[in-house]
Structure 1
Amino acid sequence: MSVTPPPGWYSDPSYPLVERWWDGTAWTDHRRQPEVPRQPLMQTPPAEGSGSGRARTVALVTAAAVLVAAIVTGAVLLRHDGGGEAAAQTTSAAPSPTGTEEPPPSPSGPSPSAGDPSVVVDELNGITFPVLDGWVKPQYAADHDMVLSTPRTYDCPGDPGLCRHGRVDSRTATATDETSPKALAEGDIADAADSAYGHDLLGSRPFRGITSHELVKSASVAVAGRAGYLVRWKVKTGVGPGGYVESLVFPSSVGSQSPVIVRFALDAGADGPPLSDMDRITAGIRPVGRKDAGGGVGSSIGPSR
């Protein structure tokens, strides 16, 4: 019986020179360069699609029970032995259920930025976002793509629900072979507008849909030292003040450098955040662990794919 490793970065079984994110049940499309050289693993996560969720759960529980039993037994013997060499040998780790002595690989340690309250860390894409005044790290959000939001909610003016005056989402473009930031931003902006002001995750229309839009801005931009592109719309909605939506695309600085898509949605009107926050957040995006690789419109543009 094999033990399923916990979520984390592991050597990519299809390309061992990079690390790939294992979410605890399956491989994702997120990759990065290894932080430190890794030895070949005696036990690796299963290939994509192998095994059932129930089997993985049973295996993990069994492994935990074996490990706890070994620790308890060792502690009892050590107490009676008086701490001699034999006791130290007794408390050594028990073999894993697979018969090997090496435990499952553990994920890489947290980024130095992980505990910094002034930034939000997006580990999968290898970037951090600045937490500006009037913005917070989202908690208990149903949408896992959200990295920043305004602190308070309000009753949506259309279909029942709770809305926010501003939000920022981060995702990886994995369902396409397109790598051009310009093409990806231009292709994503309509979906970004619909998800913010057209239909929510449940299919409701919190603003009774989008009635029209106008292009406000489209430009090349340097983000975290990479060459990116943004497209910004102003949208009018069936009810409510409407808002501003932006799709920002740039190559990731980790792994396979898959394009990162950052979506902004800010309500128009007095209650919405200042429109300049889009540019300020963009300029403050950094590679994880670095503070000197910023960007913004007009900045020097780093390497692109």
Structure 2
Amino acid sequence: MRTGIAVAAAVAVLAGIGVGVYVLADDGSGGGTASSQQDRRGPGGQEDPFGGSGGGGGGGETPAPDSPGESEPPTIDSGSVTDPVSGISLPIPDGWSGQQLQVGATVTSDDSYKCPGDTSKTCTKGGAYSAPAVVLGTKGSTAEEVAKADIEANAEESYGGESYGGITSHDELASKAVTVAGQKGYLVRWKAVTSKGADGYVESLAFPSPADPERIVVVRFGVDTGERQSVIDEITEGIEVDSSGGGGDGQDV
């Protein structure tokens, strides 16, 4: 994961149960798998439980793969990146890159800079990643409930750490229903005002997984306010059903 902005992994769920074991659904109607992972750092030195060279898209510390036979997923420079667990794909905007994760997918701006609150770390100007709400530990039984419950944690993990000196205030820019990949979803968008450096637009988008309507998918966004806010809408509108077929097999690892 990159350090700093926007796409921090929610570490409490997987960190609390050790090596990345999780259950997406307990009724066998679809799910996903995860394998054990070495320590990986994201915004403000937080642990990234998702794996890949970046749970949110780049920067931060990137340790070696778990074993000689395991390699990091490739970086994709154009088109889209697939999240097979949730049964969706995320579009890759111009000047961004994507990566498929063990539990989701991520797209991140290629522009980076030294984090204003901690210049030993690298921040990027925008990014987004997808994950099941249950993996993030976000509560709620509807898309609206999940989006509203997730936004504060998203903002705090994106801009609330040392990298930007913390969030001093926020303004709600949007809270509304939206259709994503043919599903009825909901989004909440804030402008987070930071203590140091760039402020940020953060958004939590939630909708039922096309692979399993009983499972809620969350896409977390973050973009520096110096960048175009419309890239969030561009990604949202470009989310599609994964035509390759995904959704996992309901097994635990």
- TM value normalised by structure 2: 0.64
Cα distance, 1:126 vs structure 2: 0.5
Contact 1:232-1:246 at 8 Å conserved across structures: yes
Cα distance, 1:181 vs structure 2: 1.0
Counterpart Cα distance in 2 of 1:250 and 1:166: 21
Aligned to 1:197: 159
Is 2:109 the counterpart of 1:150?
A: yes
Distance 1:116 1:216, change over 3 A: closer
Aligned to 2:145: 183
Aligned to 1:45: none
Cα distance, 1:171 vs structure 2: 1.1
Secondary structure in 2 aligned to 1:259? strand
Larger Rg: 1
Identity %: 37
Q: Give the root-mean-square deviation of aligned CA atoms.
A: 3.1
Is 2:203 the counterpart of 1:246?
A: yes
Cα distance, 1:134 vs structure 2: 2.0
Task: Give 5+ residue unaligned stretches, structure 2.
Answer: 1-24, 37-75, 245-253
Match for 2:163: what amino acid?
P
Cα distance, 1:184 vs structure 2: 1.1
Cα distance, 1:169 vs structure 2: 1.4
Distance 1:138 1:20, change over 3 A: closer
1:137-174: CA deviations, max 9, x gaps? Answer: 149x9x97661000132100002311010010111111
Match for 1:157: what amino acid?
P
Cα distance, 1:120 vs structure 2: 0.6
Distance 1:198 1:146, change over 3 A: farther
Counterpart Cα distance in 2 of 1:257 and 1:195: 27
Counterpart Cα distance in 2 of 1:15 and 1:138: 29
Match for 2:116: what amino acid?
P
Structure richer in strand, relative to its length? 2
Counterpart Cα distance in 2 of 1:22 and 1:146: 14
Is 2:105 the counterpart of 1:136?
A: no
- TM value normalised by structure 1: 0.54
Aligned to 1:21: 32
Aligned to 1:280: 234
Contact 2:201-2:222 at 8 Å conserved across structures: yes
Secondary structure in 2 aligned to 1:239? coil
Contact 1:146-1:167 at 8 Å conserved across structures: no
Contact 2:77-2:92 at 8 Å conserved across structures: no
